Amino acid sequence: MLSASKRIPSVAPHRRPIPLHRRILRNWETYVLLLPGLVWYFIFCYMPMGGLTLAFKSYKANLGILGSPWVGLSNYEYVFNDPAFFQALINTLIISAVRILVEFPVPIILALLLGEIRRKGYQKALQTIYTFPNFLSWVVVAGVMINVFESSGLVNGLIVSLGGEEVNFLSSSTSMFVLLFVTNIWKSAGWSSIIYLAAIAGIDSEQYEAATIDGASRFQQMIYITLPSLLPTISVMLILQIGNMMNAGFDQIFNLSNPAVEESLDVLDTYIYRITFQASADFSFSTAISLMKSLVNFLLVILANFSSKRLTDNGLFE
């Protein structure tokens, strides 16, 4: 008989993987709950992808999408020969870059400040106040801003009453750029901070208790505990923001823009809108630009995720 030290180790029997159809039948309730969402994605997200073939066709309304003739890359040749396209592309990149530099940190700072409020009732009241503007339409916000800053508006009326001269805020590219970012921060910062507040709520409270015992101040706890714990969430949100750089905010710009600053605020989305609906409708041309935008955004997500994984070991996917 073998000694205990020389016994042959037992080997667990190899289990065959359960077939997919049996796993589905075993958990059919879960798949029934998923079915409406899957159907929605299929109808509204995957089926419309067939329309992307318009980017390589010359659309004829009487022939439809399938019957329209193929033209290869002719639409893209027209795109890259249009100076207005490059102006819109430059404006899009500038506005998106400034949004990342100026607007992106604001919800993080707001969440950090709200997280330091110990009176929960007061914290929830402030969070509600800051979140409310997100539910206002850009039509409403733009209408208010235009009435406030127009020549006969509230701000100019105050300036003139104090002995100053009337300022044409709405016809100045600089003031409209400032208004663009300020209004977007006011409208979306509170809503965006919810994600960071949820991440703060998940931080282990024992870390703060240990830091308090060691004599750390509230500010030091925020810098050395809260902020590092938020880094994975910040990385993911930054990757998504970078991957959305080709979308500079159509609703806001469309409603705030006017002919005096149209050239400075003309982004790719407003350029597509103008070509598709205001000029002679060219759906093939607008589809070609939209497809290019989507591909660039996809590449930016991949690049941002790769950079984040290398620098911080955090990312959207492996």
170-181 tens-digit pLDDT? 888 888 889 999
In three-state secondary structure terms, 106 is helix
Q: Rounded to a whole number, what is the distance in angstroms from the first to the last CA of the chain?
A: 51
Q: Is the pTM of this model over 0.85?
A: no
DSSP secondary structure string for all residues of 247-281: ---HHHHHHH--TTTHHHH--HHHHHHIIIIISS-
Tell me the DSSP string of 125-163.
Answer: HHHHHHHGGGGS-HHHHHHHHHHHHSTTSHHHHHHHHTT
Find the mean pLDDT for residues 142-147.
Answer: 90
Compute the distance between CA of residue 68 and CA of residue 53 in angstroms, rounded to an integer.
10
Is-contact 224 216, C-beta < 8 A? Answer: yes
Q: What is the dihedral of CA 233, 225, 127, 130, to 10 degrees?
A: -70
Backbone φ, ψ for residue 263 (5° rounding): -65, -35
Q: Where are the domains of the chain?
A: 75-136+170-312
109 vs 129: CA distance, rounded Å: 16
Q: What's the chain's average pLDDT? A: 86
Dump pLDDT digits (tens) for 224-249.
888 889 998 999 899 889 988 888 88
Location of structure tokens 């492996």: 318
Asked if residue 318 has pLDDT above 70, the reply is no
Flag whether pLDDT at 109 surpasses 90.
yes
pLDDT > 90 fraction of the chain, expressed in percent and rounded: 24
Q: Residue 23 has what pLDDT?
A: 83
Question: From 3.40.50.1370, 3.30.429.10, 1.10.3720.10, 3.40.50.720, which CATH number describes the 75-136+170-312 domain?
Answer: 1.10.3720.10
What is the mean pLDDT of the segment spanning 72-89?
A: 86
With bands split at pLDDT 50, 70 and 90, how would you rate the model's confidence at 279? low
